[in-house]
Amino acid sequence: MKKFILLILLGFTFLSCEKLFISPNPPNTPTENFDLLWKTVRDKYCYFELKGINWQSIYDKYRPKVNDQLTQDAFFTIVSQMMNELHDGHVNLQIPNTRYSYTYYSSLGLLRGYAHNFNDSILTNQYLQFGYGQKVRSTILNENIGYIYYGSFSTTLDEDEWNSIINKMVITKGLIIDIRDNNGGSVENIKRLMQHFILEKKLIGYTRSKNSATLNDFKDYTPVYVEPSGSFYGKKIIVLTNRRVFSAANMFASAMAEQSQVTLVGDITGGGGAGPIGGELPNGWLYRFSAVAFSNTKKEDIENGVMPDYRVNITTKDETAKIDTILEKAMALLN
């Protein structure tokens, strides 16, 4: 069997993520692979209670469909359906080097019923006047308002790069940080940006993980802090959000929302409030699911998203007129 691997897409370097170990040569049949995955999720998944999921009943529903004569296609369908019951954007199932891949948020659509609320072409051509598509963009808008677009927390800027950006913003009367369409990345990048907006060590939330297979048996909450460093920006800040803000970006929205000088404008974020763990089954399939839950400073889970202070949609009329309704609202608030 290939060595069990740990997959951390969020880069949760400050979390107490654990490696799981499987015996050297476990049986490699559909029934054994199914049971092993179900048990691993049972022991480590962190949102059963929050989502009202009875994992035993899920086993009773899908296990009778599994036998050792199933084709790979049929077995993958059944396992995907089981994992789908978690309704979790961090759930992935994949057979490497094949067409078989399952991701919850792309299959069912956490975006259904929500406006996109972001048009990069309008943002670039009407407001920024320079090339679009970069993951980090910064400028000063014509009303003396600082603007930073951070499109992915997988994009890392070092301290000198952030200091350069923040120093340019010091002259502005307010700052807009746009994280719309940010699907997450490394949580360390939350710290790298937030450290420029605080003057003392700040609690931004807690993490915790399961202690055993028992439903509510969790380890103690572990506090997560950010410490100040580099250039400081102390004026009003507005964070722009939409439904496509997931994972580490969702956590950034939560952490920033608790700062007194920060206002959130846009739509409710897409959620994803945990650090995922992943591994490899004996048959070589890779899986991933939420295991280390992040909560705000009130110990409230943010798995289902963060609500903005001002909920604003880009109207069809404004989009036709090439107006970013959400950005305009943010600028009006800072003025």
Q: Where are the domains of the chain?
A: 1-110+274-291, 120-197+232-270+305-334
Q: Which of 247, 242, 248 is nearest to 269 (CA)?
A: 242
Q: Which of 115, 146, 124, 166 is nearest to 270 (CA)?
A: 115
Q: Are 36 and 28 in contact (CB under 8 A)?
A: no
Per CATH, the architecture of 1-110+274-291 is what?
Answer: 2-Layer Sandwich (3.30)
Residue 241's pLDDT is 98
Residue 186's pLDDT is 94
Residue 133's pLDDT is 55
Residue 104's pLDDT is 83
Instruction: In whole angstroms, give the CA distance from residue 275 to residue 139.
Output: 32
Q: Are 256 and 193 in contact (CB under 8 A)?
A: no
Per CATH, the architecture of 120-197+232-270+305-334 is what?
Answer: Alpha-Beta Complex (3.90)
In this prediction, the residues of the chain whose per-residue pLDDT falls under 50 are 1-22
Residue 135's pLDDT is 78
CB burial of 199-229 (b: ≥16 within 10 Å; e: otherwise) equals: eeebebbbbbbbeeeeeeeeeeeeebebeee
What is the pTM for the complete model shown? 0.87
In the block, residue with structure tokens 């846009």 = 266
